[in-house]
Amino acid sequence: MRIRGGIAAVVMMALAATAGTTTPGAAQDKTLTIGVLGPLSGGAASYGVELVRGAEMRAEEINKGGGLKVGSDVYRIKLVSYDHKALAADAATAANKLVFQDKVKYIIGNAVGATCNAVQTVTEPEKVLFSFVCWGTSNLGPDKPHSFRAMLSQWEVAEPFYRWVKEKHPQVKRVAAISPNDTSGKDTNTAVVKALKGLGFEVAADEYYERGTKDFYPILTKILATKPDMLDVAAAPPGEAGLILKQARELGFKGSKGWTAGVNPVTLVGIAGKEAAEGVWSPANINVKSDFVSATVRRFGEEYEKRYKEVPGVIAVANYAAFDVFTKAMQDARSLDTDKVLVALTQKPFDTVWGRLVLGGKETYGIDRQFLYPVVISEIRDGKVVDIAQVLPAGLKK
């Protein structure tokens, strides 16, 4: 009995600890509740956790600065974030809870492709504005006017990136792309292959692996047998991208390396090791510690690391920016009404941590709901991300 009593005590303590974290401070101002969704446990947890943290930091900044002034009202922002465990059905239930229980009109942040489709079945009919970092062409469209992608996708990035590769590194002729076998992976490889073909590259391999794979020797043996000049770990998340590069090096790969949809170079370098990560080009990597990023990003990075003891990846930055954009649009619209905010969102550019940001993408998706901001092409040198060029996605040039 004694030992069991011990466990019970530990569990009670855990329960008490968690109970404490859920009570937000009381506020006299009006409250604006904003929802965040994402996988917060299990294998994809790092995406969801970054989404929540990015939102949390911006919300806190606003609250500390006296709240969000919309018209004549001042709102304190309250975040409600739910875990959907990367399951589509669970995401629909979680979205229902946000929309109908918490009466949320804005859901800023979600990841994992299939869950976005499920959430949209709830948000679109209710005119809830929903922004996400899921990739996949099916998530944006004229039939989904209330949905936004808050991060550049490979449809914006792949073409300018490979145009740059072609110009600066003409020795690269044959490119192999490898991605996880899910919506993001399929979409990324498709965009990469389209860009490659359009620019006259040869596609050496267009391969997919099951998410969670650790041993890439089998698939790499097959890919390397096609003798590519460049290996693009396209939509692989940092941990898996790191393993691919490390194992490719072990198998004798010496060519160029790219990461079209890079999200967190620090983790990649850590896992691949400095040697295997040397020379990785990416149009999406962001290293908040780099000397090249703006002061605001660096400050964000420092603050983030202080709070969470981890280095932020691109998803954290993207959701921080998305939060910024949506709250600014509310102020511009002088209203919380989603129809009015929707108009404000598409009217003028926003000044964000990314730099100048507009909503575009009509050519690709048929509607301007894709966040467009400058693409910084970087190279990993001696374990550090060095920004070497800035290019603009097609829609941002206007």
Which one, 64 or 309, has the nearer CB to another protein? 309
Nearest Cα neighbor of 199 from 179, 173, 176 is: 173
Q: How far is the CB of 350 from another protein (least distance, A)?
A: 29
Min separation Cβ 2 and another protein, Å: 5
Residue 282 has which token pair? 């990416």
Q: How far apart are CA 259 and CA 265, in angstroms?
A: 10
Q: Looking at beta carbons only, is 351 or 382 nearer to another protein?
A: 382
For the CB of residue 349, give the shortest distance to another protein in the complex, in Å: 32
Q: Which amino acid, one-letter code, is at 184?
A: S
Task: Please report how close the Cβ of residue 235 comes to another protein at its closest, in angstroms.
Answer: 11
218 or 279, CB closer to another protein? 218
DSSP string for 340-388:
HHHHHHHHS-EEETTEEEEEE-HHHHSSS-EEE--EEEEEEETTEEEEE
Task: Kindly state the smallest distance separating residue 193's Cβ from another protein, in Å.
Answer: 15
Instruction: Work out how close the CB of 53 gets to another protein at its nearest, in angstroms, rounded to a whole number.
Output: 10
Q: Which is nearer to another protein, 265 or 360 (CB)?
A: 265
Residue closer to another protein (CB basis): 74 or 80: 80
Residue type, 242: G
Q: Long-range pairs for 119-127 at CB < 8 Å and ≥24 separation? A: 119/37, 119/91, 119/92, 119/94, 119/95, 120/144, 120/147, 121/92, 122/92, 122/95, 122/96, 123/95, 123/99, 123/147, 126/99, 127/338, 127/339
Contact 150, 129 (CB under 8 A): no
Q: How far is CA 11 from CA 6, 17, 20, 40, in A?
A: 9, 10, 14, 21
Choose among 369, 348, 351: nearest CA to 360: 369
Beta carbon nearer to another protein, 283 or 313: 313
Cα 378–chain centre separation: 17
Quote the least distance from Cβ 281 to another protein, whole Å: 21
Instruction: Please choose, from the candidates 306, 274, 300, 234, the residue with its C-alpha nearest in 3D space to the C-alpha of residue 385.
Output: 274
In the complex with another protein, which residue's Cβ is closer, 182 or 324? 182
